[in-house]
Amino acid sequence: MSARIFNMEMNIVKAIGIFAIVAGHCGWDIFGSFIPNGSFHVALFFFISGYFFKRDIVEIGNTLKNYFLYVKKQILRWLPRFYAYHFFYGILTGLGFIIFKQKYGVLPNINNLLFEPIKNMPYALDAPLWFVYQLVVSLIVFSFIMTIVKKLNKNDYVPLSIFLPMAIIGVMLANPDFTPLKSWMRVLVKTLYTPFIIYMGYLYRNKLETIIKYNTKTLLLVIIIQMLVLTFASPINMDLNRAMLHHNIAMFITPFTGTYIVIFIAKQLAPLVADGSFIDKVGRNTFHIMANHLFIAFLIELVIFVIDGRSFDQLPNGILGGKLYKLNKYKYLYTILTLYTCTHIGKILNSAGKKIKEQFQHFKSIDKNFIF
């Protein structure tokens, strides 16, 4: 496989994943009820992070030194970007209360600006950024366990004996009635469950990628498995943001049936999609789409309000949970306009970032990867 096709496949996979996230917040499933967005979309990005996890972190040289260097890189790569957006949306939350008399989350203060995001996202406008903080925590835990286990045994399958029981414990700690977990229990459940998904991405890259076939026969098998899960292990709910993992086997199947179908689609489209096409741009800007899409959806809501001649004091009290104005009627419009706008915001910010880096080349750059 050429480098161009490989990169395009990864961009399409990420594009479909972020499309599912945006569509889910706009009230619809991109594959219908057969593959609910929430059954795979966030897990897909944890899977990708494992796919690009570097083996040399745990296998070459001084493993403890490599581990701390890796932790440092993850913190420096993600948390400054996270807090830049978080402070920005904290300010907008305060302004929104002044202008519209609505609290989209809580009003900003030192605690919720700095510390609250570890366990709960306080502002509705940047709620999806919980993923970034959790990704850092999960990668730190994942890499630590991999460092220890791989020092004892080089076999890539051995860590499964650690990550699978962790994930099972996480699922069992979640509330069985789909009520959200609170505070640190939510963080604990996510930190127990997500390293398993990261590990499966790692295992896929290093062992399973050459074994798993992307053909009609295998696709049919995956579809049958998904049908069996829907029949015997439903309901399916993987709302990791609130750690609402139902106590059934679906949590260990649907992230991977959904991921297989996404990769299958990406492999079919990659030779046909041109560099610089819209889907390619979406795949290259998923971080900024994740960060901005609720705010952009809110702005679209304001425009529709103005067109309808409605007063802003009639705005719905919230954004998430189907609260956007006339969501059922305009869900596809919300989705496409949000995705398009956020993609171009990402392009602008990435271009600006590259120019800034060029001006400060003496700073040590942080390695890029394909997580976003």
Quick: pLDDT tens for 138-153: 999 999 999 889 888 8
pTM to 2 decimal places = 0.92
Q: Assign 94 to helix, strand or coil.
A: helix
> Among positive and negative, which fits the CA dihedral 131, 95, 296, 181?
positive
Whether 296 contacts 342, CB under 8 Å: yes
Tokens (6 digits) for 214: 């992307």
Domain of residue 257 covers 3-359
Statement: residue 233 has pLDDT above 90: no
For helices 41-51 and 183-203, angle between their N-to-C axes, nearest 10 degrees: 50
Report if residue 240 sits inside a domain.
yes
Q: Please report where in the chains the tokens 């996480």 appear, as a residue.
A: 170
Phi, psi (5° rounding) for residue 181?
A: -75, 155
Both tokens assigned to 285: 């800007």
Query: 1 vs 9, 213, 218, 229, 298, CA distance in Å?
Result: 11, 15, 20, 33, 41
Q: Quick one: average pLDDT of 209-228?
A: 96
Of 357 and 10, the structure prediction assigns the larger pLDDT to: 10
**Rg value, the chain, Cα:** 21
The Cα diameter of the chain in Å comes to 67
In a domain, 371, yes or no: no
Q: What are phi and psi of 86, to 5 degrees?
A: -65, -40
Confidence of residue 371 (pLDDT cuts 50, 70, 90): low
- Residue 346 pLDDT exceeds 70: yes
**368 found inside a domain:** no
As a whole number of angstroms, the distance between CA 106 and CA 123 comes to 6
In a domain, residue 238? The reply is yes
> Is the residue at 369 inside a domain?
no
Tally of CA atoms within 13 A in the half-sphere of 320 that contains its CB: 15
Task: Count the domains in the chain.
Answer: 1
Q: Which residues pair with 238 in a beta bridge?
A: 245
**Is 54 a member of any domain?**
yes
Handedness of CA 135, 141, 147, 152 (dihedral sign): negative
* Whether pLDDT at 86 is above 60: yes
Q: Is 59 a member of any domain?
A: yes
Q: What percent of the chain lies above the pLDDT cut of 70?
A: 94
Q: How far apart are CA 242 and CA 174, in angstroms?
A: 9
Sign of the CA dihedral running 353, 88, 344, 241: positive
320: pLDDT confidence band, cut at 50, 70 and 90? confident
Contacts 24+ apart (CB under 8 A), 153-159: 154/59, 156/202, 156/203, 156/206, 156/207, 157/203, 157/207, 159/199
Residue 369, class by beta-carbon neighbours within 10 Å (0-12 exposed, 13-18 middle, 19+ buried)?
middle
Q: Taking residues 283-300, report their average pLDDT.
A: 96
3-class DSSP state of 238 = strand
User: Is there a domain that residue 367 lies in?
Assistant: no
Q: Which amino acid is at 45?
A: F
- Residue 105: helix, strand or coil by DSSP? strand
